[in-house]
Amino acid sequence: MSETTPEAEPRKLAEEARDRVRFEEEALDLADQVYRVARRLVSTREEAEDLMQETYARAFRSWKSFQPGTNLRAWLLRILTNLNIDRGRRVQRSPDLQPLEEGDYFLYNKLEASGGDSDADRVDQRLSQDDTVAALSAVPHDFRDVIVLVDIGDFSYADAAQILEIPIGTVMSRLHRGRRILKRELAERTIGSGV
Amino acid sequence: MAPGLEVDPCDKCEEMMQPYMDKVLSDEERDEAEAHLDGCSYCRKRYRFEVELRQYVRTAVVEEMPPELKQKLSELRTPL
């Protein structure tokens, strides 16, 4: 049973409308940042654009389920990653169980061995933007998702765990392995096969 | 581990490098990593590379949102 008086009802509606407008404005202000992450979670620009529109349509519909004061960017990306999985856009893959012998110094050591030691630490002279984009795309989805969220999107391990609905330990282990796979892919593109 | 078989400090530093950069090591582990980096040019060079690499990847893969998409998103707002 409602306790609102007839006069209180319009005020409540006006407050709700104002909250909704504020929510929509804040969500739109974050769109550039959400897109940068979205773009690297999927393969093509078209997919990223579709996913953004579906995400924002859903967010605007369910704005009341967002808890003010919590991380809106993480909330939007949680919707986006769920939609991405629901729509079957992600190709199901078997886990990458190939042994990965390379350590964290792998790429540096390869660059040093291939081009003299003085250049190995000049990252921008040794790597190209296209190779880097291609190398990231070649990292299997499960590993790439955490790299994109943590290293590109600047999310904490805890936020990434919440967005992807996986335990924090899984975020850490995928990040560890994913970064090594990324370095292997970068080495293959930069120095050539046979690395 | 068998007695006398110590972990190579550079191997250990390599393992700690990413968590160190993510700032998730314990105070004790962080001190250990920093003490090693201070005294080891081999690991220090690689640490500098890792920092640069992460920054490079972050910048290289950025693709900005097309302006027309922002317009489309605005149009999804609830009409006033």
pLDDT tens for each residue of B3-52: 556 789 999 999 999 999 999 999 999 999 999 999 999 999 999 999 99
| Mean pLDDT of chain B, nearest integer | 91
| Mean pLDDT of chain A, nearest integer | 87
Please state which of the ranges A97-106, A158-167, B10-19, B43-52 shows the lowest mean pLDDT: A97-106
Q: Which of B48, B56, B80 sits opposite A127 (nearest CB)?
A: B56
DSSP characters for A20-60?
Answer: HHHHHHHHHHTHHHHHHHHHHHSSSHHHHHHHHHHHHHHHH
Q: Residue range B53-71: average pLDDT?
A: 95
**In this structure, are residues A109 and A163 in contact, taking their beta carbons and an 8 Å threshold?**
no
A181/chain B closest Cα distance in angstroms:
14
pLDDT of A99 higher than 70? no
**In this structure, are residues A174 and A146 in contact, taking their beta carbons and an 8 Å threshold?**
yes
Q: Residue range A6-27: average pLDDT?
A: 89
DSSP A101: -
Query: Residue holding tokens 């959400």?
Result: A34
B50:A24 CB<8 A: no
Split at pLDDT 50, 70, 90, the class of A11 is confident
Write down all domains in chain A, each with its CATH number in brackets: 8-86 (1.10.1740.10), 106-191 (1.10.10.10)
* Angle between helix B27-39 and helix B41-60 axes, rounded to 10 deg: 110
Q: How far, in Å, CA of A89 to CA of A83, rounded?
A: 9
Its pTM surpasses 0.90: no
Which of A90 and A105 is assigned the larger pLDDT? A105
Q: How far, in Å, CA of B33 to CA of B31, rounded?
A: 5
Which of A175 and A118 is assigned the larger pLDDT? A175
Which of A164 and A97 is assigned the larger pLDDT? A164
B7 in contact with A, Cβ within 8 Å: no
- Domain locations in chain B? 9-75
A52:B60 CB<8 A: no
**In this structure, are residues A159 and A109 in contact, taking their beta carbons and an 8 Å threshold?**
no
B73:A56 CB<8 A: yes
**pLDDT at residue A23 in the model:** 96
A162/chain B closest Cα distance in angstroms:
18
**pLDDT at residue A106 in the model:** 86
Q: Which two tokens stand for residue B25?
A: 């090591």
Chain A residues in contact with B57 (beta carbon < 8 A): 132, 136, 151-152, 182
**pLDDT at residue A87 in the model:** 74
A40:B17 CB<8 A: no
Chain B residues in contact with A39 (beta carbon < 8 A): 63
